[in-house]
Amino acid sequence: MMKKSKSGFTIVELIVVIVVIAILASITLVAYNNVQKRALDTKIRTTVDDVGKALLIKYLDGEIPTSGYWSNTNGVDDLLVPDRLPPGYRDGQTSPNAGNYDNHTFRYYRCGDTFALYASLNKPTDDDIAHLAAVKAQCGLSDSYVPIEGSEPTYNYGKIFK
């Protein structure tokens, strides 16, 4: 009598395959989330550059307030939209570091004879944080003006425009 050969996979083999797929999927998901955060931070940095250049023109004409958030009345949005920046130029640019204040992702202050812009990035690098400290020192601003930790919002990126 001949034995029947069974074809197929055992339950253990199937479970091993499922576990391997789950591990690979979780690694991919984490990597994807980090890529999204870095991409958003690149967009935030670009917005800082664009707004800084537009504000520099207004600043040279004496039309910039001393300090504020970008969305406040008589703030950056009132100065630059729609003349220098399109409506919605910062839509979707948020950071958990801004806390419950989506409109506080960005901030500006006068800095000597010019001004500096600050932003809350999602995943700041060590260089971002070191550069922010240098900007704050050059502008003479304390943590109460540009908080870096312990309160909302916190900022971790800064740039001076001249």
Q: What is the pLDDT of residues 131-143, one digit of tens each?
A: 999 999 998 888 8
Predicted TM-score of the model (pTM): 0.75
Residue 87 confidence (pLDDT): 84
Residues forming beta bridges with residue 106, ordered by sequence position: 119
Helical H segments across 61-125, by residue range: 76-80
Residue 46 has a CB neighbour count (10 Å cut-off) of: 11
Distance CA 93, CA 23 (A): 31
Distance CA 70, CA 91 (A): 12
Residue 8 confidence (pLDDT): 82
Main-chain phi, psi angles of 20, to 5 degrees: -60, -40
User: Running along the chain, 162 residues long, what does each successive block of 10 average in pLDDT?
Assistant: 72 94 92 88 92 84 67 64 83 78 74 86 90 90 76 84 86
What single-letter amino acid sits at 110?
Answer: R
* Residue 58 vs residues 1, 16, 45, 63, 79: alpha-carbon distances, Å: 95, 63, 20, 5, 8
